[in-house]
Amino acid sequence: MKSSAVCILSCIASTVTVLAIQHQTGPLSRIQAQPTGSSSGTRLVEDALSDIAAPRVYDSEGLAPDEAVAAFVYRANNRSVVNIATRIGGERGFLGENPTSDSGSGFIIDRFGHILTNHHVIEDAQRILVTLHDGVEYEAELVGLDPLNDLAVVRIQAPEKVLVPVRFSSSSGLLVGMRVFAIGNPFGLERTMTTGIISSLDRTLPVTRARSIKSVIQIDAAINPGNSGGPLLNSHGEVIGINTAIASRTGQNSGIGFAIPSNLLARIVPELLQHGRFIRPEFGIDEVARTDQGLRVTTIDPRGPAARAGIRGPEVQQKRRGIFVFESRDTSKADVIVGVNGKPTLQPDEFLSEVESHRPGDEITIEVLRNGQTISIPVLLE
């Protein structure tokens, strides 16, 4: 196969020749510089021509393998991604407007019209409007939410034939460097796909001052306002997470995005569908204080699971002075939590995350430091 054009430009000042060869289907990406008069220039032309003649691997549509993967992922999922707009007012405002407070993304998870998104996308919304791939808008009802994990499920009444659910995959086998795809509605541009790699795993994403989401996926795929709630997909077109946040000083993409992993979704979403909220196990410890050694128990329910199991809180003493009763707490004798099920927990959110990874009725082992010794206490969660 012959090239359609060969262009040799001579740079007199630096006596360097830049060779650019254009293929029939487009310019080659191979551009090199060689000293003028060198035999390597001839070899460069021969190498470039041999590249043109080398066989290319394309599919039936003329796509290279990586292009075919990206096209497959988009075709398999773009109809599953929806645009979510929230209204802060009624049908019409005082001046005839229909004000929008925010917009984001979501994706269909079953044929019953359930859609998964982020809690912050629909937070405080009086109306939730969902637009499907065919452009038809539906009013959605809230099914369940979990603010601490930034997840929410809404439902629309739409014909089953237009509902295309996604497929999920476990996030436990992810590796840094794996290729990922994000589909969402950045700046209202519906069903836009971006691609990148997994930049890191097991990140911690703060939700409140005392709570954070664990095992978060960090990606470098472009994520912008409006992408929140959209799916993060692997090369098989399967959902491995939900795009949730970006690290940016401007509020726009800076190459650092975060997604909640699918394994956490598998634990939370069924409870949102069934109960409307995530039922967290009760263990009976209300407050802890962080110390250098661990988490000292400062408030404990005397009738709760932890107290019944033998975990000690502060010693409480009451003193009466006239008609008044004063209560004092001696926390120096309270247990210090140092681990759960053998895992060190030196931060409050680490302790809560480990406990809440279990269900009511499960038995966990809490390791506490008492009188200079570490003891293990089994606690039955309620």
Our CA angle for 121, 126, 128, nearest 5°, is 50
Active-site residue (options: 102, 150, 220, 349) = 150
Residue 23 designated active-site: no
Q: What separation in angstroms does the CA of 85 have from each of 64, 143, 188, 229, 327?
A: 37, 16, 9, 12, 52
Active-site residue (options: 3, 80, 103, 228) = 228
At 218, which helix (H) or strand (E)? strand 212-219
137/131 Cα distance (integer angstroms) = 4
Residue 150 designated active-site: yes
> Coil, strand or helix: which one is 273?
helix
Do residues 59 and 7 touch, judged by C-beta distance below 8 A? no
b/e code 282-295 from CB counts within 10 Å (16+ = b): ebbbeebeeeeebb
Token pair in block for residue 317: 């003493």
Strand positions, DSSP E, 264-362: 285-290, 295-300, 315-321, 324-330, 336-340, 343-344
Active-site residue (options: 3, 105, 114, 120) = 120
Active site residue ranges: 120, 150, 228
